[in-house]
Homo-oligomer: A and B are copies of this chain.
């Protein structure tokens, strides 16, 4: 039995982690903390977990206690907070899966520019493994610190990886038009996320300035082995969960599409052994309902003369956050990769 802790249990990702881990046969949730007025039963925060868990949630994380009680810790915290806790956990020999952005960007200056804060733990950035199993499964196996990918990057990278791996598109031309449900913003108090402001509305936000853009650029550049800068326009959907990204790119002239293969086959082959990626047949495209409450990423592809259109979607709280975090834990701890995830 693996003892795990969740720090940041009161947010959407923390709530979802609990929901998954309570069904995980190899795991016991042994510690919870969140920013609260006072220590309180976690079921006071989430009555829906009554009769499933009866732990007290600490109003702040006590490092010693966490280390005493846990083998592995999920940090489901706002950006800039995780890096204050990870070093202590790592030096105590604990495995850490950080759902924030603190260890995702290898270039500290980009982190500091987009998250508007000094990085306080540069030492661990290099050894942190970017937790996208489809690209980095081998390294995750032995990771001590996993930087769990952002939700937009997860869907964007899975949608684009085959195209860049085979050089099928012009890297200058990539446009990511992404739409996310409201839980993507986290459970934080800002008037703009009020029900009547979002319900029946739809808007673009942070047009080409979103903090997930450098993360996407970093990973695409590694895939393409050249510097890539995408156009990235996120939009806010009036739904609770799910991200759908519509991605456009101009075909590369020199693209080496494996002979005799159409694009759907290229994708199917690329993701052949992946348990959580599903490729749609020609002319079919995924929708949020296909992936909500699952850890799947569904991808549809259209070959349109000079352009390629890829439409992909995930549940932002699962494959885009907590589901992927558990997938990473399963890999790190040698559990079957889909345990508690299907």
| Residues of chain A at the chain B interface (Cβ within 8 Å) | 12, 23, 47-48, 50-52, 172-173, 175, 177, 179, 181-183, 187, 189, 191, 193-205, 207-208, 231, 233, 235, 237-242, 244, 246, 248, 250, 275, 278, 280, 284-294, 296, 298, 302, 304, 306-307, 309, 311, 342
Contacts and interface: CB of A to CB of B under 8 A. Distances in A.
A207 B309 contact: yes
8 contacts: A47-B290, A51-B296, A194-B194, A199-B199, A202-B237, A204-B244, A204-B285, A233-B311
A179 B237 CA distance: 10
A246 B48 contact: no
A182 B207 contact: no
A48 B278 CA distance: 10
Given A172-B306, A289-B201, A189 B187 contact: no
A292 B175 CA distance: 28
A208 B302 contact: yes
A198 B200 CA distance: 13
Query: Sorted from nearest, which 9 A-B pairs have the closest CB atoms?
Result: A203-B287, A195-B198, A177-B177, A182-B195, A48-B290, A201-B289, A47-B290, A200-B239, A202-B288
Question: Can you tell how many copies of this chain the complex includes?
Answer: 4
B200 A240 contact: yes
Of the listed residues A12, A196, A239, A298, the one surrounded by the most CB atoms of chain B closer than 10 A to its CB is A196
B203 A182 contact: no
A209 B76 CA distance: 37
Given A208-B309, A287-B203, A231 B304 contact: yes
A292 B290 CA distance: 18
B235 A238 contact: no
B202 A248 contact: no
Given A181-B196, A194-B195, 16 more contacts: A23-B342, A47-B278, A50-B278, A182-B194, A193-B194, A193-B195, A195-B197, A195-B198, A200-B242, A202-B237, A202-B239, A202-B244, A202-B287, A203-B289, A207-B311, A231-B248
Contacts of A278: 47, 50-51
B195 A244 contact: no
B179 A235 contact: yes
Given A194-B187, A240-B199, A177 B246 contact: yes
Contacts of A239: 199-202, 238
A191 B189 contact: yes
A250 B231 CA distance: 11
A94 B248 CA distance: 47
A203 B304 contact: no
Contacts of A202: 179, 237, 239, 242, 244, 287-288
A48 B198 CA distance: 15
A294 to B, nearest CB: 7
A291 B294 CA distance: 19
Nearest to A276: B51
A311 B236 CA distance: 14
Nearest to A173: B250
Contact of A203 (B50, B201, B233, B288): B288
Nearest to A207: B302
